[in-house]
A and B are shown apart, each in its own frame.
Chain A
Amino acid sequence: MKFLRPALLIASKDLRSEFRTKETLNASFSFALAILVLFSFAFDPDSDMIRQIAGGLLWMVFAFSSALILNRGFAREVPNDCLDTLIASPVSGAQLFLGKTLANYVLLLLVEAVSLPVFGVFYNANWARRLGPLMLVFVLAAWALAVMGTMFSALTVNLRLRELMLPALLYPALVPALMAAIQLTNLLIAGDTVGKEDQIWFRLLAGFDAIFTLLGLALAETVFVG
């Protein structure tokens, strides 16, 4: 709890700032909704088509709209040199990293929570048939996006072209997690159960989350202080 308290404090500060300005949430929601609506005109969403594209479409929307949220995570600390004040405080690099990841995670989950019903309406998809496992996929894959995105956002915060650098670094690194999320989402939205041979995708997601969370926590101090 002693380790978590400063992280929660930083996360709640970030969320309070975001809910007050809504600058990234509005941009992220608008982007996600625009893509979902536009693609619904491009495809004829019958049940076979949904089975083939649901996972890819949803995770493409989440991955691209997440860049808007992840870019702001540390960029929020740049004006007035707030990042220096945080690093100079008694909070460790790992606590700062965890706090930022938690705030990004909550925002990503919100975008997913709004986008999924919109997807259901425009694509005539009954996404709630396997709700429990589908939520598990969303929770695990959103953490993968948050933890990886926060790590690269910290690395690129002082770069002039950080808005361009973050996606360039983030998306290739996310390929294993996105592959797993797409496969599982396709299955679950089609109403299928996750068979034994598909359990590997859950294990891949959980392993990805665990490895990169530990890596982020271990490297945070070096990233912030050098």
Chain B
Amino acid sequence: MAADSPAVLLEGLWKYFGSFPALRDVSFAVHPGAALALLGRNGAGKTTLLRILGGLSRPDRGKVTILGGATRSASVRARIGLLGHGIGIYDELSALENLTFHARLQGLAEPAKAAHAWLERTGLHAVRDGLAREFSRGMRQRLAVARAFLHEPSLFLLDEPFTALDDRAIAVLQSLLREALARGATVVMSTHQLREALELATDVAMVQKGRVVHSGPRTEAMLADPALLYRTYGEPL
């Protein structure tokens, strides 16, 4: 990937569910090191868009380029950290087994070392041999964050990352995302938690009925009034 080429490039993307167009002619670019907040009401198409970016679904029309390659390329997927609605953790495995499995899946050279390091960073090392199903909700969420970060991705795709997180997990996630952005990683996140997202975002895109009706830099006015974009485009909060 050339240094100046976008980390995410969408060109004329359409996605249909039956005859219903969930995404309509979506085009935008996200540059390396940027954090894009995807805003919009439920059903606007944010999750569909993130699933296509993550290689979980294919568009019906249009072109997607992620980190200079195709979404289903193994080398591209090895550089993506995905945190979706589900936590992606196996309840019947321990915290250490979960992270070691994912580290091996990502092809890390020292999976056990990476797993221990991330358990430490997320405050779960003391309970590393406990089964995930025995964890509190907050602990499971921190384990999910560790799972998404342990291979140090270049691109984070986060679907409602702050929803249902406890305060400690929000703090952990925000701090890790700031750190990732500082090392040049790119973030695309959909969210309804406007304040948390806008504090991190460098860019904002508003999705309405499958179309991107606004995209551009996050402004100070948005930070001061997080509901500004929703009001501008007549969206109920």
Contact = CB atoms under 8 A, between A and B. Distances in A.
Interface of A: 6, 9-10, 13, 16-17, 20-21, 79-82, 84-92, 221, 225-226
A85 B93 CA distance: 15
Interface stretch (B75-83, B117-125, B184-192, B220-228): B75-83
Interface stretch (B6-14, B102-110, B193-201): B102-110
Q: Which 6 A-B pairs have the closest CB atoms?
A: A81-B86, A85-B88, A90-B78, A90-B74, A80-B86, A88-B82
A16 B131 CA distance: 13
B55 A88 contact: yes
A225 B93 contact: no
A4 to B, nearest CB: 13
21 contacts: A13-B101, A79-B86, A79-B91, A80-B89, A80-B90, A82-B89, A84-B82, A84-B84, A84-B86, A85-B102, A86-B105, A87-B55, A88-B54, A88-B77, A89-B77, A89-B105, A89-B106, A90-B78, A90-B106, A225-B58, A225-B72
A92 B74 CA distance: 7
How would you classify the secondary structure of chain A's contact residues: helix, strand, loop or mixed?
helix
Looking at B85, B86, B93, B101, the one whose CB has the most chain A CB atoms below 10 A away is: B86
Contacts of A85: 82, 84, 86, 88, 102, 147
Contacts of A10: 105
A86 B77 CA distance: 11
B175 interface: no
Contacts of A90: 74-75, 77-78, 105-107
Contacts of A79: 86, 91
B25 interface: no
Contacts, number: 78
Interface residues of B, number: 31
Interface of B: 51, 54-58, 72, 74-75, 77-78, 80, 82, 84-93, 97, 101-102, 104-107, 147
B97 A16 contact: yes
B107 A87 contact: no
A87 B90 contact: no
B31 to A, nearest CB: 22
B88 A82 contact: yes
Given A6-B105, A89-B77, A226 B57 contact: yes
Looking at B78, B92, B147, the one whose CB has the most chain A CB atoms below 10 A away is: B92
B105 A225 contact: no
Contacts of B88: 80-82, 84-85
A80 to B, nearest CB: 5
A213 B110 CA distance: 32
Nearest to B60: A226
How would you classify the secondary structure of chain B's contact residues: helix, strand, loop or mixed?
loop
Nearest to B107: A90
Contact of B86 (A16, A82, A89): A82
Looking at B84, B87, B88, B97, the one whose CB has the most chain A CB atoms below 10 A away is: B88
A82 B58 contact: no
Contacts of B75: 90
Nearest to A85: B88
B105 A84 contact: no
Given A81-B86, A85-B147, A90-B77, A225 B57 contact: yes
A80 B74 CA distance: 23
A80 B87 contact: yes
B70 to A, nearest CB: 12
Nearest to B75: A90
B62 to A, nearest CB: 15
Given A88-B82, A89-B105, A17 B72 contact: no
B92 A17 contact: yes
Contacts of A226: 57-58
Contacts of A84: 51, 54, 56, 82, 84, 86, 88
A149 B84 CA distance: 28
A225 B55 contact: yes
A115 B21 CA distance: 52
Contacts of B106: 89-90
A87 B74 CA distance: 10
A20 B131 CA distance: 11
Contact of A16 (B51, B58, B93): B93
